[in-house]
A and B are shown apart, each in its own frame.
Chain A
Amino acid sequence: MENLLANSSEPRTQPVALHGAVLRLTDIEKVYQTKTIETVALNRVNLTINRGEFVSIMGPSGCGKSTLLSLMGLLDEPTSGVIEVDGRAVTSFSDRELAGLRNLKIGFVFQSYHLINDLSVVDNVEVPLLYRPGMGSKERRKRAVDALDKVGLSARTGHFPSQLSGGQRQRVAIARALAGGPEIILADEPTGNLDSVMGEEIMGLLLDLNRQEGVTVVMVTHDEHQALKTERVIRFFDGSQVG
C-alpha cells in the first residue's frame, strides 16, 4: 500500500486525468427564507468542476462558500438552478438516490473533523461503507485499513479520536473520505483548525490524493497561501462568483 505522506514533501506529479465535468452548477440560486427576512446566499452561480481538478473556493465569511459546498455535496437543494453530477441532473433525485450518489461519488472533509468519538479510528473510517449495499464486514475493514495506511495511520486503527492530535484526526477524516473510493472530495476548510505545520501536512496529503490518485478536490479555504497551491481559485463575494 502506497503511503501518500511519504511523498508529501516531494515535487508534485502531474494530475492523473482531466476528462470532462464531474460537477456542473448552472444558474444556481440559494435563498434562505424566514418569516421576515429573505437572505440570498448564492446568486446565479455557474460553475464547472472538471474531473481531476483541485479547485479552491475563497471569499469572506458569509459569502456563500459553505452553502456552495453543501449544494455540491448534495446535502442541500438549490432554490433554483441545476446541479449535474457526471452529466446527470440530480434535481429530481429522491433522498435515497441522493444518499447513494453521495456515498459512491463524494467524500467529505470538514474543518472540525466530525469524527464519532465513541468509535475507534478504523470504525470511523468504515462509516461511509456501512451505507454501501452488499459490502461485507471483511471488505469494509480491508478498505478502512487501506485508507488509514494511505494517510499514515495504520498503527492507530484501535485508537479513539480523543487519543489523537488535531492533524491525526484530520488524517482520519481524509481516510474516511477516501475509504469509499470517491471521485470527488469536498473539503470545508480542512486546515482551519490546525497549526501551520499540520496544515501543510494535510494540504500535502490532499495534493497527493489529487495528483497521484486523480481524485477531484474542491476545497473551501480562507488561507490564500494554501489556495495558491491549487490549480484554480474561485472567489466569492456576497453570494456571487467574482473571480
Chain B
Amino acid sequence: MLRHLFKLIWNRKRANLLLISEIFFSFVVLFGVGTLLINFGRNYRLPFGFDSGPVWRLAIRAGQGQKMPRAELDDVLRQVQALPGVQAVALTSDNTPFSFNNNNTRYYNHGLQSPITNNYDADDAYARVMGLRLREGRWFQPIDDASKARPIVISQDFREIMFGKGPAVGRAITGGNPAVDPKTDQYRVVGVVDAVRMDHDFAAPEPALWKRLEPFDTTHWETANVMVRVAAGQGGALQEKIARTVAGVTRQWSTEVRTLEDERLSKRRYTLVPVIALSLVSLFLIVNVALGLFGVLWYNISQRRAEIGLRRAMGASAGAISAQFLGEMMVVTTLGVLLGVLLAAQFPLLGAFGMPTGLYAAAIGAATVAVYVITALCAWQPSRLAARIHPAVALRED
C-alpha cells in the first residue's frame, strides 16, 4: 500500500507540488525558531559561572564632562565597604553582567587567534564579590603590582581554546590591537575561572578575560561601576545609605544602585521580546499553513469522491479510506520534510553560527515531529470525512 501511495503522489506531483512547498517552508520556519528556542533552553539550564544573587551594581557618575579622581573614588569604595550589610566592593568596567554594554576583542598566543573574547576590568576584590569559581592559579593580588605584563584571569573556555591541555597559568598572550603599543598590549595569565554567561539568561558561555585594575591607576573616570556584595536580606534602606555615602564624599557625583537580579530580569525581558514576537509570527504562519493544508485536503477529497466510492466498492473499509488519505498526507509530508532536512543539514555541515551539531540535530528532530503532527492533525478531519462518504452515492454522482 505504501508503494501505491508513493505512486499516487508521484503521478500527481504537479498537484502536490504546492503542498510539498508549504510543508517545506513550514519545516524551515520551525527549524529556525526551534534552533533558537532549543539553544535558549539549553543555555538557560547552564550555570552562570558566578553568583549574582546578593550583588548590587553601583554606578557613580561624575557628571557631564567631569572626571573623578581615583583617590576620591577609593575613598568612596572604602566608605561603602564600611557600611553595615556590605560584605565586599569591587571596581569594574561598565560592561557589568546583564548590562547592555560590551567590550570584546581577539587575543593571540604565538599566532593562535582567539575567538571574540569579552574583556572585563576588575580589581583584586572582584572575584570574591562576584563569586567567580577559580579552577587554576589565583585571582589578582597586590604582588601583581610588580608584574611587567598586565595580569589577567581567563575563563575556562578561553583557556581550552588558547592553551588546550597544556599549562595556562604563567603563559603570556598579546592583544594584537594595532592602536596599542605591542609592549603594553601583553598580558600574563595568573588564573583560570569557570566559564561565565554574563550577557543574559539565555546566552551561551562566551570566552572571557579579566584585566587587573591597578590600585595606583590614575585614570580619571566619568563613570565608575562598583559591584557590591551585600548580606542576605538587604534592601532599599542600604541602597539609600550607599547613595548618601557617595554624596558625603562629593555632592557633584550621582549614584544609581540596582541589584544584579533586577538587571538580569530586565535583560531577560528585553531578550525575550523579539523571541516571543518571532515565535508568534511563526505560529501565525504555521496556523495559516495548517488552515491551507486543511482546505486543500478538503477540496482534494471533494474532487475524489468517485475514487473513494470506487475503492469502497473494491473492498476498502471506511478505516482503509481514512488511512489512505492520512497516508497520502504523510507521504507528501515526508517529501517536504526531506527537502527541509536537506537544507537544514547544511547548517551543521558548514558550521553556521558556531552552534553545536547536536543542537541542529535536535532542532531538525523537533521540526520534523512538529510538521508531522501538524499535517496529521490537518489531515485527520478530512480523512474521517472521506471515510464517511457513502460509496453508493459517490459512485452515482459521477
Residues of A near B313 (CB, < 8 A) are 73, 75, 102, 106, 108
Binds B, one of A79-87, A112-120, A228-236: A112-120
Known A-B contacts A95-B317, A95-B318, A131-B314; the reply to A119 vs B1 at CB < 8 A is no
Known A-B contacts A99-B320, A119-B8; the reply to A127 vs B310 at CB < 8 A is yes
Residues of A near B314 (CB, < 8 A) are 102-103, 108, 127-128, 131, 176, 180
In the complex, what distance in Å separates the CA atom of A108 from the CA atom of B309? 11
Residue interface bits A100-144, CB-to-B below 8 A is 1, else 0: 101110101010101010110001001110111000010000000
In the complex, what distance in Å separates the CA atom of A132 from the CA atom of B320? 11
When the two chains form their complex, are residues A99 and B3 in contact, meaning their CB atoms are under 8 A apart? Answer: no
Contact of A76 with B by CB under 8 A: yes
Known A-B contacts A112-B398, A137-B3; the reply to A118 vs B317 at CB < 8 A is no
User: How many contacts A-B (CB < 8 Å)?
Assistant: 77
Contact of A70 with B by CB under 8 A: yes
Residue interface bits B138-170, CB-to-A below 8 A is 1, else 0: 000000000000000000000000000000000
Contact of A154 with B by CB under 8 A: no
When the two chains form their complex, are residues B398 and A99 in contact, meaning their CB atoms are under 8 A apart? Answer: no
How far, in Å, is A162 (CB) from chain B's closest CB?
Answer: 12
Among B4, B315, B318, B391, point to the contact of A123 (Cβ < 8 A): B4
Number of A residues with CB within 8 Å of any CB on chain B = 31
Contact of B306 with A by CB under 8 A: yes
Residue interface bits B278-307, CB-to-A below 8 A is 1, else 0: 000000000000000000000000000011
Contact of A43 with B by CB under 8 A: no
When the two chains form their complex, are residues B398 and A114 in contact, meaning their CB atoms are under 8 A apart? Answer: yes
Residues of B near A100 (CB, < 8 A) are 315, 317
In the complex, what distance in Å separates the CA atom of A1 from the CA atom of B319? 36
When the two chains form their complex, are residues B306 and A114 in contact, meaning their CB atoms are under 8 A apart? Answer: yes
In the complex, what distance in Å separates the CA atom of A137 from the CA atom of B309? 23
Interface size class of B (residues with CB under 8 A): 20 to 34
| Closest B residue by C-beta to A176 | B314
Contact of A46 with B by CB under 8 A: no
In the complex, what distance in Å separates the CA atom of A161 from the CA atom of B276? 53
Residues of B near A123 (CB, < 8 A) are 4, 7
Residues of A near B7 (CB, < 8 A) are 119, 123
Among A76, A96, A102, A180, point to the contact of B319 (Cβ < 8 A): A96
Residues of B near A95 (CB, < 8 A) are 317-319
Among A67, A110, A118, A128, point to the contact of B11 (Cβ < 8 A): A118
In the complex, what distance in Å separates the CA atom of A131 from the CA atom of B318? 12
How far, in Å, is A239 (CB) from chain B's closest CB?
Answer: 16
Residues of B near A104 (CB, < 8 A) are 315
In the complex, what distance in Å separates the CA atom of A194 from the CA atom of B312? 25
When the two chains form their complex, are residues B396 and A66 in contact, meaning their CB atoms are under 8 A apart? Answer: yes
Most buried by A among B306, B315, B395: B315
Among B4, B312, B390, point to the contact of A99 (Cβ < 8 A): B312
When the two chains form their complex, are residues B317 and A130 in contact, meaning their CB atoms are under 8 A apart? Answer: no
Residues of B near A137 (CB, < 8 A) are 3
Most buried by B among A67, A73, A114: A114
Contact of B392 with A by CB under 8 A: yes
In the complex, what distance in Å separates the CA atom of A99 from the CA atom of B320? 10
Q: A110-B310, A128-B314 are in contact. List 5 more A-B contacts (CB 8 A).
A: A70-B391, A95-B319, A99-B318, A102-B315, A104-B315
- 23 residue pairs of the A-B complex, CB under 8 angstroms, read A66-B396, A67-B392, A70-B392, A73-B313, A75-B312, A75-B313, A75-B391, A76-B392, A95-B318, A95-B319, A99-B315, A99-B317, A99-B318, A99-B320, A100-B317, A102-B314, A114-B307, A114-B395, A114-B398, A118-B11, A119-B7, A119-B11, A127-B311
Chain A residues close to B by CB (< 8 Å): 66-67, 70, 73, 75-76, 95-96, 99-100, 102-104, 106, 108, 110, 112, 114, 116, 118-119, 123, 126-128, 130-132, 137, 176, 180
